[in-house]
Homo-oligomer: A and B are copies of this chain.
Amino acid sequence: MANPTAAMLVIGDEILSGRTHDSNTHHLAGLLTAHGFDLREARVVADDKAAIIAAVQALSAAYTHVFTSGGIGPTHDDITADAIAGAFGARIDIRDDARAILMAYFEARGTEPTPARMRMARIPDGAALIDNPISAAPGFSLGNVHVCAGIPKIFQAMVTSILARLDGGTPLLSQTFRVAKPEGDIAAPLGALADAFPELSIGSYPFHQDGVFGANIVVRGSDGASVSAAMVELGKLFPESTA
């Protein structure tokens, strides 16, 4: 059976302006591969309600799971929760369970529960909360969309707890064979190898290092014997290279 599919949606002007480098997609990609989810697409959109709604609707219809990062804080530019509710036509307001989590956290720290802070308890009807072990304000899952914070440490904690309750597929195995030859020299035999192993994904990732053009050949698949057989063939095709 094919693995469940997934998409990532990064929300935030700061990524698109070049101010901040998104690291959450890369982190999620590695985790999903290890858990047997097939990450098919990633998107970055601005802090714009219509843009978020359009992306959420397109991705949630096309893939098994959608993960989002960013836009769930207390400030005026944090509009993700309302946009997700809008995408699903769900009602959204301050919810008792989220309020209780925030109040306990604020009381323990003597923090004032300002109206801005309590916006972080706005959760769509029908959503399941996602634990935030770092700063309490929860994420949530609504339908197949998992809404996480953008701060990398919090994003990582939330994704870990989501993946613990989802059914993944067969982890994708991956092996890399490094060839110190330009891609133009290896393309023909590599194409024939890809044809001979249709159950595998064989990718060629060129590099240019210390004046040498070469390529990392990455063999991916869920069947270990098949991956190993392809690696053996690579060793025969390019005997002077090192795996």
Give the interface of A toward B (CB within 8 A): 13-23, 25-33, 39-47, 51, 73-78, 111-112, 114-117, 119-120, 134-135, 151, 153, 172, 174, 182-188, 190-191, 194, 201-208, 213, 215, 218, 220
- Closest Cβ neighbor of A19 among chain B residues: B218
* Minimum Cβ distance to chain B for residue A131 (Å): 17
Inter-subunit contact A17/B44 (CB<8 Å): no
- Closest Cβ neighbor of A109 among chain B residues: B182
* Minimum Cβ distance to chain B for residue A231 (Å): 16
> Which chain B residues lie closer than 8 Å to A21 at the CB level?
23, 26
| Assembly stoichiometry (copies) | 2
Q: Chain A interface mostly helix, strand, loop or mixed?
A: mixed
> Which chain B residues lie closer than 8 Å to A16 at the CB level?
29, 39-42
- Closest Cβ neighbor of A193 among chain B residues: B76
A18/B26 contact (C-beta < 8 A), A51-B40, A116-B188, A184-B111 known: yes
One of B20, B116, B194, B220 near A184 (C-beta < 8 A): B116
> Which chain B residues lie closer than 8 Å to A78 at the CB level?
204
Inter-subunit contact A75/B187 (CB<8 Å): yes
- Closest Cβ neighbor of A115 among chain B residues: B188
Question: How far is A172 from B14 in the complex, measured between Cα atoms in Å?
Answer: 13
Question: How far is A27 from B16 in the complex, measured between Cα atoms in Å?
Answer: 10
- Closest Cβ neighbor of A206 among chain B residues: B73
A17/B174 contact (C-beta < 8 A), A41-B43, A42-B43, A194-B76 known: yes
- Closest Cβ neighbor of A29 among chain B residues: B18
* Residue of A17, A117, A206 with highest tally of chain B CB at under 10 A: A17
Inter-subunit contact B203/A13 (CB<8 Å): yes
- Closest Cβ neighbor of A119 among chain B residues: B187
